[in-house]
Amino acid sequence: MKKITFSILMLLSFASFAQRSIPVANMFSGTKFTNHHYRSISDTLYPLSYTTALGCTLTVYSVVGDSGYVVGTNGYGDKEKAQRYDLSSYQLLEGSVTGAYIWAGGKRVSATPGNVVLKVYSVTANAPGSVISTSDPVSMDNVDTSGSNFTYFNFASPATIPSSGSFFVSMVMSQVDGDTISLVSSQDGCFENSGYAWEKWNDNSWHSFLSAWPLDFDIAIFPIVNHQFGSGINDVNSGIAGVNIFPNPASDNLTLNFILSKTTSVNCKIFNAAGKEVMNTGNENFNKGIHNKVIDLSSLNNGVYMLSMETLTGKSIQKIVVMH
């Protein structure tokens, strides 16, 4: 796991909203990933906002007037903070959550500290749905806030991810009076997917941070998933199978390894996050069998793209990250 040290800058802009008002504050030092995830049987997943790819500033948000935190304990009595994940974003198939890390930005511990647990939820109407599994508890005493380490939570009963591949992981905060905890987040407007951070209020209703505060960011909860490798979205009629792309993230050159079930032409197109075509390699004829193709990405800006490998009868779509 490669990391680079960085400092989270203090932001002092204040805003007031109809129900919830927030400042952005607190200097924080920590680490940042250089890869999106790791190609092994057990992957630690995290949003691109926690890599060097998007250049996000990471922040701890505190609430005006109540000494609490937006992504943590506060005077509103919030119970849980959750981050959504989609296995398709990591080119993974079905799997199970066996553990998770949180990145805590701060805490205050009472004389009789309570526990923190994590939960895995299904996704219903874009919000957390049913609880799939709950982690073993971790005492507030043992939550690391040094910035250089995460706090690990074990799932003795692994959470089987729904067939949709989408799920939430939430932190259930200690309800002991005097215990306070906050999680790190990316700054407002810097995220991999908009509206993927949610919270449970004291009335047990779920709300996205985007609708509640409104803030749009990713929360530092990182699930560990045992899985099968996926190969993107494949049209069974395309004749393309066994697609492997490397390195990903890529700098200047991306290598495609793929298998064709029949002789056909292949045209590789790359689209940016807005859906605009930014590269077209043109048709190239390939015989049936195993092939490698190198694509020059040096002209593309850093970011997330979709690579479409198109044949005469279908296509295979892969997510790629460019990071020079």
Same domain, 168 and 62: yes
Same domain, 27 and 154: yes
Same domain, 267 and 187: no
Average pLDDT, the chain: 83
Helix and strand counts by DSSP (H, E) for the chain: 1, 27
In tens digits, the chain (324 residues) has pLDDT values of: 333 333 343 333 333 334 566 555 454 555 556 555 443 444 788 898 888 778 888 899 998 877 789 999 999 999 999 999 998 877 677 789 988 999 999 999 999 999 999 999 999 999 999 999 999 999 999 999 988 789 999 998 999 999 999 999 999 999 889 999 999 999 999 999 999 999 999 999 999 999 999 999 999 999 988 865 454 555 545 677 767 788 888 889 998 888 888 899 999 999 887 678 899 999 999 998 888 899 999 999 988 888 888 888 877 878 888 888
Same domain, 239 and 215: no
pTM for the model stands at: 0.67
Same domain, 139 and 269: no
Same domain, 21 and 144: yes
- The values of phi and psi at residue 208, to 5°, are -75, 150
What is residue 61's predicted lDDT score, i.e. its pLDDT?
93
DSSP string, 30-74: EEEESSS---SSEEE---GGGBSSS-PPEEEEB-TTTS-BTTB--
Question: Residue 128 is part of which domain span?
Answer: 3-229
pLDDT digits (tens, 9 = 90+) for 266-299: 999 998 876 788 999 999 999 988 888 999 999 9
Contact by Cβ (8 Å): 165, 94: yes
**CA atoms of 107 and 143, how far apart (whole Å):** 8
**CA atoms of 180 and 68, how far apart (whole Å):** 7
Helix (H) or strand (E) holding 306, with range, is strand 303-310
90: left (phi over 0), alpha (psi -120 to 50) or beta: alpha
User: 90: burial class by Cβ within 10 Å (0-12, 13-18, 19+)?
Assistant: buried
Contact by Cβ (8 Å): 197, 209: yes
Q: Determine the residue type at 146.
A: S
Same domain, 296 and 252: yes
Same domain, 85 and 11: yes
What is residue 1's predicted lDDT score, i.e. its pLDDT?
37
Secondary structure E strands in 9-137? 14-15, 22-25, 28-33, 42-44, 58-61, 80-86, 92-102, 104-108, 115-124, 127-134
As given in the structure block, the two tokens for residue 110 are 């009472």
Q: Which of 175, 198, 229 is the last residue of a domain?
A: 229
Number of domains present in the structure of the chain: 2
Q: Is the peptide bond before 223 cis (omega within 30 degrees of 0)?
A: no
CB atoms within 10 A of CB 127: 18
Q: Determine the residue type at 35.
A: N
Instruction: Quote the DSSP letter at residue 211.
Output: H
Q: Which of 214, 229, 244 is the last residue of a domain?
A: 229
Same domain, 242 and 221: no
CB atoms within 10 A of CB 318: 24
Of the candidates 311, 297, 304, the one whose C-alpha atom is nearest the C-alpha of residue 90 is 304
What is residue 32's predicted lDDT score, i.e. its pLDDT?
56
Any alpha helices (H) in 43-90, and if so which ranges? none
Same domain, 149 and 132: yes
CATH number at residue 242: 2.60.40.2550
What is residue 13's predicted lDDT score, i.e. its pLDDT?
32
Same domain, 133 and 13: yes
Query: Buried b / exposed e across 131-141, counting CB within 10 Å, b at 16+?
Result: ebbbbeebebe
What is residue 55's predicted lDDT score, i.e. its pLDDT?
81
**CA atoms of 197 and 83, how far apart (whole Å):** 5
What is residue 297's predicted lDDT score, i.e. its pLDDT?
96
As given in the structure block, the two tokens for residue 163 are 């067939």
Same domain, 107 and 249: no
Rounded (5°) CA angle 41-47-206: 110
Any alpha helices (H) in 12-165, and if so which ranges? none
Helix (H, G, I), strand (E, B) or coil at 48: helix
**CA atoms of 120 and 167, how far apart (whole Å):** 7
3-class secondary structure per residue, 145-184: CCCCCCEEEEEEEEEECCCCCEEEEEEECCCCCCCEEEEC
Q: Which of 229, 256, 282 is the last residue of a domain?
A: 229
